[in-house]
Structure 1
């Protein structure tokens, strides 16, 4: 049984190549001309000093504290007047968004991350690493009357986002040359369902004689305009991929023959991509669904696993030529490490995000020891990814060399050589698309991983930024590549005869090759 790739004319293949490149350029342009994927803002914690004899600051976290109910406001603690107001006598509070009632948090943000930065009143006597303890609580509201305190109605009061007061610790580096200490992770929200958020915090142990001045914190989230582009792309691509997968499934399972492993892998790759594309994210605009982050990790992990397995088997099959493998067991020594690595990465992501959903202040990056361990893990993962990509690139290069040597071994001008050149040209197109997808996927994955790790580690300026063009471009490339593979690798119109040879173009190639085998060219090996 021949494939459409083997039957496709050169003119049609050239047209398909141009269409592929134009569509790919469109995906890159969609992300490139739009806004950057994320946006960040810097806010200053204000202080509320509690009068002596009143409740301790930690106890006051039982109720929301903001400007409307604070007995003594402390906007900047770096002034001499406020030096006596330290320790558990101050509740720090900040609102999201800023104190402007006409601005609200958008559900298009999808995710909110934050870090904080402490300014000390006086630099420490020596460079040191401090483990600082905090107590905090999050509140939310959906009415501007809560923010402006225009109503005493209970329904217009701040609601508890976290059920209890959360105690957490962060490691920070403080220098003798600066009043400020290093940034540290603060909290993450897996959804941005509410319009307003209030953060109350009290610093506790770990600062010793170092008195706290100002506390700043930065917030980062997805840009609504960029998320609209992503949602639109997913919504458009889902029915296209669904039709293609159904069509391909009928082709390979409805022919009354046993399908090849590579065909079943292509089918599974299409299913995993449909799962990745399916725009279930739209429900986050109406329902508070932080669990969508877990679902995103699952479907993306499944897709990466299927994609890496398909690349390995597809490239190996092309390298070995017509000697098709009838069972995936032949690749088990290569597949087991891929599956185990994917499972380990997925387990880490699910545990981390699941813990954050339960406790927004949870992070593995708050302690120096665990953060460096995770950095080492990301470095190791990047090295494995690099070696995997290099191995596939080498195999593809050797496949190109094999195709060229086969052409040289044939008699010039023979039917076999002409047929081989036509088939080689079409195969090179698919291998070229595979090579492009492998390289860009590797670059995107490593860039995204380091971008996330650097943001969570919060150690100086970022050295890696992910662009909107790369994000949408690689996402579109996955879909175009899967479509191309399903179409070109689907069974063609040629029928399989009783002798096992297919009619049409492929049979001519087989017969020409057999004829050429009987006539060996001096100095060359026969095919």
Structure 2
């Protein structure tokens, strides 16, 4: 019986060229959709809070708002004399979003998330110094209003008392009254969904003067003379969300169909699945999970879990994709005694599992806690920040070690191809030699595509983490996620789908009559023999010599 093998080995050059040309066209379309049709991923809006007088000093449940005005404003905070000993009669108010051209703008569920940062403006005063790493305590209440509510009908979303470390510095040449400290921007809140059109923030900075006299480093004791508070709100652009969701909606059925087709082909074989077949199948399932457009639910229902679910789905895909690359390279490299056994990869996979575990712990600690308290931040305490840094640094170190090892593996596979080619191909007749040459070239193309995909994945991962880090930095408006074009993200998303679907289609068994498929009886049988087998010729060709 003639060898049947995988689609990539038996497909004609003409058909393969047409398929690859179509995939290249699809990749270009993904980039163009992001470049020409989609806005930047996120945008920001800045709010200078209005300082209002609360005659009840926080003892009532009333909300202070600006449109329509319910606020007795304080023009100059330095000249204001508090009515209460703890200064709870001063309320900093931010009403989001801003009006524009006389029309009140609205947030939309299409915005997906809402991230709030706080910029504290402190005026230099030699009599009121700023303590290094001063402890800032905020009593924050966040309210929302729907379209059906009246302009004064605000409903409490969440109220919390939070503490943040305030790091400020000032140039010695500017240590004069009227100059402002340069203070780091601090995390305020993060909403994993954006279900309401209007939000209202009421913020108080209570001061216990008696406690401050005993401990000058206590909450709000060493924060200096506060001039203003600025809230920076960042949300995902609705246009980007629409493009992203429609892409996933169109691509998801293709990924599901390709995975089911591959599973049907492999399951029909009269033998157990090989490790590389299981790895490709797992990669297809992970892609289907990531592609499924679950975000449509957020347009009709309040789903604060969605941001965490999206991170977990993408994390699952990263883990399976990185694991597959090791198996893919290893199955074409290691000898027969170790091949086709996942246990022999535990040292290699430990890098991936460690990095994934660290990032999972960080994500659950940060966004998991924010489900019940949007004002929670793991960075707000020294211990929490230490654990966060430890998780991220360990994950980064494991990722670097993994990709260095993967690059080493790919080089060894390349050398194995060269050695085997020079040692065996000259012994074959011309027809068989041309067939093996074609298989080698196709495998090399797939390895190059793998390296390109790996490099782009690294860049995408680093850019995403870097961009999210910038969102929590002193200049969140300059984040890569708010300034970059969307073509990189749409192009990378398309590349992942094209790569996985190509693997599913090219590595599926190409035979039509599964009943005639034979079980591989002799793994050491050479590729050049005429005995029909179900082993991949490329794998057999690259295996170690037993002579």
Identify the TM-score tier after normalising by the shorter chain.
Answer: 0.7 to 0.9
SS at match of 2:56: coil
Is 1:136 the equivalent of 2:140?
yes
C-alpha distance in 2 between matches for 1:41 and 1:468: 19
Q: How far off is 1:455 after superposition?
A: 2.0
Q: How far off is 1:500 after superposition?
A: 4.8
Aligned pairs (5 A) from 1:309-324: 309-320=323-334
Please, what TM-score do these two structures have when normalized by structure 2? 0.83
Deviations 1:45-96 (A, max 9, x none): 001123xxx421x334x2211135645213x546x65476893221111111
C-alpha distance in 2 between matches for 1:455 and 1:372: 19
Equivalent of 2:169 in 167, 171, 175 = 175
Aligned residues: 495
Partner of 1:407: 421
Partner of 1:12: 15
C-alpha distance in 2 between matches for 1:359 and 1:499: 58
Partner of 2:296: 282
Is 1:509 the equivalent of 2:528?
yes
Aligned pairs (5 A) from 1:437-448: 437-448=453-464
Equivalent residues of 1:389, 1:439 under 8 A apart: no
C-alpha distance in 2 between matches for 1:435 and 1:82: 64
Partner of 2:502: 484
After superposition, the Cα gap between the structure-2 partners of 1:121 and 1:480, relative to the gap in structure 1 and judged at 3 Å, is same
Is 1:166 the equivalent of 2:169?
no
C-alpha distance in 1 between matches for 2:446 and 2:88: 66
Please, what TM-score do these two structures have when normalized by structure 1? 0.86
Partner of 2:235: 221
Equivalent residues of 2:365, 2:378 under 8 A apart: no
Question: Which consecutive residues of structure 1, in runs of 5 or more, have no partner in the other structure?
Answer: 150-156, 513-524
Q: How far off is 1:99 after superposition?
A: 4.1
Q: How far off is 1:266 after superposition?
A: 1.2
C-alpha distance in 1 between matches for 2:472 and 2:70: 32
Partner of 1:433: 449
Equivalent of 1:237 in 238, 251, 264 = 251
Partner of 2:534: none
RMSD of equivalent CA atoms? 3.0
Partner of 1:25: 28
After superposition, the Cα gap between the structure-2 partners of 1:315 and 1:77, relative to the gap in structure 1 and judged at 3 Å, is farther
C-alpha distance in 2 between matches for 1:477 and 1:144: 43
SS at match of 2:356: helix
Mean Cα displacement is larger for which, 191-200 or 334-343? 334-343
Partner of 1:119: 121
Partner of 2:90: 90
After superposition, the Cα gap between the structure-2 partners of 1:238 and 1:246, relative to the gap in structure 1 and judged at 3 Å, is same
C-alpha distance in 2 between matches for 1:261 and 1:498: 15
Question: Which consecutive residues of structure 2, in runs of 5 or more, have no partner in the other structure?
Answer: 172-178, 207-218, 532-544
SS at match of 2:271: coil
Partner of 2:345: 331
C-alpha distance in 1 between matches for 2:520 and 2:154: 79
After superposition, the Cα gap between the structure-2 partners of 1:222 and 1:324, relative to the gap in structure 1 and judged at 3 Å, is same
SS at match of 1:134: strand
After superposition, the Cα gap between the structure-2 partners of 1:526 and 1:189, relative to the gap in structure 1 and judged at 3 Å, is closer
Deviations 1:193-237 (A, max 9, x none): 001001111012324472211111111110111111110011011
Aligned pairs (5 A) from 1:232-381: 232-320=246-334, 325-367=339-381, 370-371=384-385, 374-381=388-395
C-alpha distance in 2 between matches for 1:402 and 1:273: 30
Partner of 1:522: none
Partner of 1:66: 65
Q: How far off is 1:326 after superposition?
A: 3.1
Mean Cα displacement is larger for which, 396-405 or 195-204? 396-405
Is 1:197 the equivalent of 2:199?
yes
Mean Cα displacement is larger for which, 317-326 or 283-292? 317-326
After superposition, the Cα gap between the structure-2 partners of 1:232 and 1:322, relative to the gap in structure 1 and judged at 3 Å, is farther
